[in-house]
A and B are shown apart, each in its own frame.
Chain A
């Protein structure tokens, strides 16, 4: 591998953009294809598929074997609301090697004692989310039950195309949320990307069980291509 190619790849990685290194394993010929530069590539179709799955692999094309080394950014999670569910959810996520940040403007909730080892930002979501840089490799869950805190975060997540967006609250609460978002100009397809009520239906009763259902739903969305049933 040429140092220049590796440098360019590392630039893409630190900017949290997907990229693929294509290597002809017979000749050693190599090129870097950026997520945005797929179109012109002779292997565009395969590259799109592998990049979408976030997996590397060997393919054969006209007698040549190409290794597609797919680099996708590490998955991050943002939890809005330093609530009881978050106290279980954040450590669970950390155990899955997810980079977690909790945001809550209410200083009484967002204390380091309640959240050891997890970064907690005491700020309104619309103030802090632009700096965090939400993207397609980020999951966002809003858990405050307060539209003044939850709505701006959901809007930011929809605009940033977060791969998972979930919102805590009953069906009634969500109906009112849908109305607000329609009025704000979001399409039904946009709004349908919000998982609400949040979490897989496992009959979760306690905050811990709700945390498990949220995490399971997030993983099911992330790994949808691997699921046995759609």
Chain B
């Protein structure tokens, strides 16, 4: 798959993220779900956008159009391990706390939970 197609698929509104989450869990995989719950400024993806991650770091969907997915996936794998839901926050002002930042200048808050 071409990179542009990959991005297209990530951003597509009709990608069935929740269907995939259910299918992965039923196949016995560890699965975490990340959801954008709050945004400030020019955040790249709206509230409600979701990303599903499995224990092998396969993922579908997007919470920022690519800016912070790497860090969300790393955290997701921890959540799959301990089952404790957590809140993540990303923004240009948080570069000391997070390696990743949003180049657009917005801020986002993400709820990360394990699928049990």
Q: Is B19 an interface position by the 8 A CB rule?
A: yes
Q: Is A58 an interface position by the 8 A CB rule?
A: yes
Contact status A69-B35, CB under 8 Å: yes
Contact status A25-B37, CB under 8 Å: yes
Assuming the A-B contacts A58-B37, A69-B48, are A28 and B85 also in contact, with contact meaning beta carbons closer than 8 angstroms in the complex? yes
CA of A40 to CA of B60, assembled, Å = 34
Assuming the A-B contacts A25-B37, A69-B48, A74-B13, are A13 and B18 also in contact, with contact meaning beta carbons closer than 8 angstroms in the complex? yes
Contact status A97-B14, CB under 8 Å: yes
Min C-beta distance of B116 to chain A, whole Å: 6
In the complex, what residue of chain B is closest to A68 when comparing beta carbons?
Answer: B48
Q: Which of B21, B33, B35, B37 has the largest number of chain A CB atoms within 10 A?
A: B37
Q: Digitize A1-21: 1 where CB-to-B-CB distance is under 8 Å, 0 elsewhere.
A: 111001101100100000000
Instruction: Point out the residues of chain A lying under 8 angstroms from B21, CB to CB.
Output: 6
Q: Digitize B36-52: 1 where CB-to-A-CB distance is under 8 Å, 0 elsewhere.
A: 01100000001110000
Label chain A's interface by main secondary structure: mixed
Among candidates B22, B26, B33, B48, residue contacting A70 with C-beta atoms closer than 8 Å: B48
Instruction: Point out the residues of chain A lying under 8 angstroms from B113, CB to CB.
Output: 1, 23, 28
Q: Is B25 an interface position by the 8 A CB rule?
A: yes
Label chain B's interface by main secondary structure: mixed
Contact status B38-A6, CB under 8 Å: no
CA of A3 to CA of B21, assembled, Å = 9
Q: Is B93 an interface position by the 8 A CB rule?
A: no
CA of A9 to CA of B33, assembled, Å = 14
Contact status A6-B22, CB under 8 Å: yes
Among candidates B19, B87, B116, residue contacting A10 with C-beta atoms closer than 8 Å: B19
Min C-beta distance of B11 to chain A, whole Å: 10
Contact status A58-B38, CB under 8 Å: yes
Contact status B111-A67, CB under 8 Å: yes
Among candidates B12, B18, B26, B87, residue contacting A9 with C-beta atoms closer than 8 Å: B18
Contact status B115-A6, CB under 8 Å: yes
In the complex, what residue of chain A is closest to B109 when comparing beta carbons?
Answer: A58
Contact status B18-A67, CB under 8 Å: no
Q: Digitize B80-116: 1 where CB-to-A-CB distance is under 8 Å, 0 elsewhere.
A: 0000010100000000000000000000000101111
Q: Is A37 an interface position by the 8 A CB rule?
A: no
Min C-beta distance of A131 to chain B, whole Å: 21
Q: Is A57 an interface position by the 8 A CB rule?
A: yes
CA of A111 to CA of B115, assembled, Å = 47
Instruction: Point out the residues of chain B lying under 8 angstroms from A13, CB to CB.
Output: 18-19
CA of A58 to CA of B109, assembled, Å = 11
Q: Which of A1, A69, A74 has the largest number of chain B CB atoms within 10 A?
A: A1
Instruction: Point out the residues of chain A lying under 8 angstroms from B116, CB to CB.
Output: 1-3
Instruction: Point out the residues of chain A lying under 8 angstroms from B14, CB to CB.
Output: 74, 97, 99
Contact status B13-A97, CB under 8 Å: yes
Contact status A3-B111, CB under 8 Å: no
Instruction: Point out the residues of chain A lying under 8 angstroms from B13, CB to CB.
Output: 74, 97
Q: Digitize A21-34: 1 where CB-to-B-CB distance is under 8 Å, 0 elsewhere.
A: 00101001000000
Which residues from chain A sit less than 8 Å from chain B, CB to CB?
A: 1-3, 6-7, 9-10, 13, 23, 25, 28, 55-58, 67, 69-71, 74, 97, 99
Q: List 11 A-B contacts (CB under 8 A).
A: A1-B33, A3-B22, A6-B21, A6-B115, A9-B18, A25-B87, A55-B47, A67-B37, A67-B111, A69-B35, A70-B48
